[in-house]
């Protein structure tokens, strides 16, 4: 067994050395390494299992030996006490017999000859008692010798058993240490799946920018994919942290007659509007150096188009001014020019934007948690809740302010690599999936289970844009067949439920194997991990459309 473990050790070391040289982007090689490592790990666990059984058996034997040894030691101690007592009894008997024989007997013979019979009986009794005592001593001595021999043999067995147990425990500990190392290596290699999820989720912040977002008719619910049944994930909003102000929500509120102060009060609850804030004189902008905060920097922020209502532009000016002050710590550090901070271009924007900047000069939000904003959140924000006319989910979606403002991102199916409609599409012309592809995603969920992504091969089947060695649709169906209820082969309907904190709660499908119900967060994960191309769900609040 020990040689086998050393053999496994050699395999592990060679596999780990080989795995360390892999390129993380070469998914096919990575998958081969994962499979090899997993096999080595399984072999190691199989080898350790009987060792653990042996250790358990040895521990039981050791406990039994210890109990017997304790009993022997206890018996030995009592026997030694008995022996001492019997030796003392014998000594007393012999002494009494000796005295009686050489002192009392002559006088008894001379002066009490009539009692000779009694005397002889007495002497005989003393001699017999002495013989009995000697026999008892002999028996006890033999017992002590046997117990001492038993004690010696049990102590030797105890030492040997303990030594074997400790050796096997050491072997098991070493094997499990290597197993842990292998599991860590496998986990590292399957990080590629996390990269895929991150790429499809695209959780960075985006904003409107200088012009409204272009719509894509192929990403709308009315698009005809040309096949049926067809399924698609539609996100409410996208690419947003869901904090602060919704720019399209601000437009909807301004269209409805709200003033900048009202808009800011809703989106930045907990903050107060200071209209006489001491704004820094200058700000440092990455790539452009130091410039006047109000007269240059603020006029060149391209975050909301001039076509938006004046009150929305004023709210945006306050949010942008506050964000810049907080980001730069009052002008102490530079600010970036992209949507990672807020969009800046090196020319005055003019028009309604410049008017909004001038009309809100010195207006800054104080207090509150943040001054963030984004284009479209789907009708829900973390700090202000449902962005609807009624203030709750009850009138969502018909009276969501982003929908009233006609945000093209309010309800959209995503199939492009980035938020730009002109970005890569990986051979897809829409976000719609056919029945086989939808069933495949559900089978991926069945195979994945609750123990993490199985084998690292649940990735998009479109290797042309993702690489790797994903399970084919038929392979995944075969794996799903081993689950209770079997694989999903047909999907007849789908329903979605939402919770009150702006997230999809549950997605339920009617399938050939009955109802398949998945939590919203789990479905979003498995959908983004398995859906072909760049088809993805970009928001925690989403729906599944069916045609």
Paired sense of beta strands 542-546 and 230-235, if any? antiparallel
At 62-92, the pLDDT tens digits run 677 677 767 767 766 776 666 666 666 656 6
- pLDDT (0 to 100) of residue 262: 98
CA distances to 160, 274, 321, 541 from 278, rounded to whole Å, are 83, 10, 12, 40
- pLDDT (0 to 100) of residue 95: 59
pTM > 0.95: no
- pLDDT (0 to 100) of residue 120: 56
The beta strand positions in 352-439, using DSSP E, are: 364-367, 373-374, 380-381, 385-386, 433-434
CA distances to 71, 378, 383, 403, 542 from 502, rounded to whole Å, are 71, 9, 11, 15, 10
**Predicted confidence (pLDDT) at residue 8 exceeds the cutoff of 50:** no
Query: What is the DSSP secondary structure assignment for residue 428, as one 8-state letter?
Result: -
Query: What is the DSSP secondary structure assignment for residue 82, as one 8-state letter?
Result: H
**Predicted confidence (pLDDT) at residue 108 exceeds the cutoff of 60:** no
pLDDT band, residue 170 (cuts 50/70/90): confident
- pLDDT (0 to 100) of residue 411: 96
**Predicted confidence (pLDDT) at residue 355 exceeds the cutoff of 80:** yes
Higher pLDDT, 118 or 289: 289
Number of other CB atoms surrounding residue 50 within 10 Å: 10
Packed helices 260-267 and 310-327: angle between N→C axes, nearest 10 degrees: 50
Query: Which of 1-15, 43-57, 204-218 is predicted most confidently?
Result: 204-218
Paired sense of beta strands 245-246 and 373-374, if any? parallel
- pLDDT (0 to 100) of residue 490: 97
- pLDDT (0 to 100) of residue 24: 40
124 burial (CB, 10 Å; 0-12 / 13-18 / 19+) is exposed
Which residues are 433's β-sheet partners? 231
Least confident of 1-15, 172-186, 313-327, 492-506: 1-15
Mean pLDDT of 464-474: 92
**Predicted confidence (pLDDT) at residue 5 exceeds the cutoff of 60:** no
Express as a percent the part of the chain with pLDDT over 90.
Answer: 53
Report the C-alpha gap between 265 and 484 in whole angstroms: 53
- pLDDT (0 to 100) of residue 179: 62
- pLDDT (0 to 100) of residue 142: 72
CA distances to 7, 137, 414 from 216, rounded to whole Å, are 60, 109, 10
Report the C-alpha gap between 506 and 482 in whole angstroms: 25
Q: Where in the chain is the domain with CATH 1.10.287.620?
A: 2-189
At 24-50, the pLDDT tens digits run 444 555 556 666 666 666 676 666 677
**Predicted confidence (pLDDT) at residue 1 exceeds the cutoff of 90:** no
Number of other CB atoms surrounding residue 28 within 10 Å: 12
Q: Could you report how far apart the first and last alpha carbons of the chain are, in Å? A: 61
Residues 6+ apart with CB under 8 A from 447: 454, 458, 471, 476, 479, 480, 483
Report the C-alpha gap between 301 and 208 in whole angstroms: 12
- pLDDT (0 to 100) of residue 268: 96
pLDDT band, residue 251 (cuts 50/70/90): very high
Mean pLDDT of 441-470: 83
Express as a percent the part of the chain with pLDDT over 70.
Answer: 68
Helix (H, G, I), strand (E, B) or coil at 208: coil
Report the C-alpha gap between 265 and 260 in whole angstroms: 8
- pLDDT (0 to 100) of residue 468: 86
Higher pLDDT, 233 or 129: 233
pLDDT band, residue 163 (cuts 50/70/90): confident
- pLDDT (0 to 100) of residue 35: 64
Picking from 48, 54, 51, 40, the residue whose alpha carbon sits closest to that of residue 9 is: 40
- pLDDT (0 to 100) of residue 62: 64
Picking from 135, 100, 103, the residue whose alpha carbon sits closest to that of residue 120 is: 100
- pLDDT (0 to 100) of residue 207: 82
Tell me which CATH homologous superfamily contains domain 2-189: Helix Hairpins (1.10.287.620)
Q: CA triplet 221, 223, 224: central angle to 5 degrees?
A: 125
Number of other CB atoms surrounding residue 506 within 10 Å: 16
The mean pLDDT value of the chain amounts to 81
Q: DSSP for 5-74?
A: HHHHHHHHHHHHHHHHT--TT-HHHHHHHHHHHHHHHHHHHHHHHHHHHHHHHHHHHHHHHHHHHHHHHH
**Predicted confidence (pLDDT) at residue 98 exceeds the cutoff of 70:** no
Least confident of 127-141, 240-254, 342-356, 528-542: 127-141
């Amino acid at each position: 067994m020990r040689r086998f473990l050393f053999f496994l050790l050699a395999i592990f070391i060679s596999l780990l050395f080989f795995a360390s040289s892999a390129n993380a982007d070469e998914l096919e090689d990575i998958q081969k390494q994962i499979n090899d490592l997993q096999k080595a790990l399984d072999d190691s666990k199989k080898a350790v299992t009987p060792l653990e059984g042996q250790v358990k058996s040895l521990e039981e034997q050791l406990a039994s030996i210890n109990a017997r040894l304790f009993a022997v030691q206890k018996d030995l101690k009592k026997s030694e006490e008995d022996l001492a007592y019997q030796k003392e009894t014998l000594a007393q008997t012999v002494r009494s017999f000796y005295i009686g024989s050489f002192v009392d007997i002559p006088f008894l013979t001379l002066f009490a000859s009539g009692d000779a019979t009694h005397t002889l009986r007495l002497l005989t009794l003393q001699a017999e008692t002495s013989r009995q005592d000697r026999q008892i001593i002999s028996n006890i001595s033999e017992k002590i010798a046997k117990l001492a021999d038993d004690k010696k043999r049990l102590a030797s067995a105890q030492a040997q058993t303990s030594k074997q147990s400790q050796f096997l425990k050491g072997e098991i500990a070493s094997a499990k240490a290597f197993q842990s190392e292998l599991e860590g290596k496998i986990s590292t290699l399957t990080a590629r799946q996390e990269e895929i999820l991150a790429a499809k989720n695209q959780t960075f912040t985006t904003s409107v920018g200088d012009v409204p977002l272009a719509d894509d008719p192929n990403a709308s619910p009315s698009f005809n994919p040309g096949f049926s049944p067809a399924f698609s994930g539609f996100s409410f909003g996208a690419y947003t942290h869901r904090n602060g102000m919704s720019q399209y929500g601000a437009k909807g509120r301004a269209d409805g007659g709200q003033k900048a102060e009202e808009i800011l009060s809703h989106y930045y609850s907990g903050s107060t509007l200071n209209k006489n804030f001491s704004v820094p004189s200058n700000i440092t902008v990455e790539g452009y150096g130091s410039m006047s905060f109000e007269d240059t920097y603020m006029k060149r922020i391209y975050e909301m188009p001039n076509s938006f209502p004046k009150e929305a532009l004023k709210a945006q000016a306050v949010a942008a001014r506050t964000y810049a002050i907080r980001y730069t710590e009052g002008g102490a550090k530079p600010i970036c020019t992209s949507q990672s901070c807020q969009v800046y271009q090196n020319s005055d924007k003019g028009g309604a934007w410049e008017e909004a900047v001038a009309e809100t000069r010195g207006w800054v939000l104080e207090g509150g948690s943040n001054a963030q904003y984004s284009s479209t959140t789907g009708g829900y924000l973390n700090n202000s809740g449902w962005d609807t006319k009624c203030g709750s989910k009850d009138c969502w979606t018909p009276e969501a302010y982003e929908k009233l403002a006609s945000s093209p991102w309010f309800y959209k199916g995503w199939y492009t690599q980035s938020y730009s409609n002109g970005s890569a599409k990986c051979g897809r012309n829409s976000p719609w999936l056919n029945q086989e592809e939808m069933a495949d995603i559900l089978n991926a969920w069945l195979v994945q289970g609750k123990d993490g992504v199985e084998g690292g091969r649940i990735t998009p089947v479109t290797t042309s844009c993702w690489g790797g060695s994903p399970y084919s649709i038929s392979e995944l169906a075969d794996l799903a067949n081993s689950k209770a209820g079997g694989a999903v082969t047909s999907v007849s309907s789908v329903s979605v439920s939402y919770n009150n904190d702006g997230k999809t709660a549950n997605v339920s499908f009617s399938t050939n194997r009955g109802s398949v119900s998945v939590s919203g967060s789990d479905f979003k994960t498995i959908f983004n991990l398995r859906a072909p191309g760049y088809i993805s769900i970009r928001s925690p609040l989403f729906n599944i459309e069916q045609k």
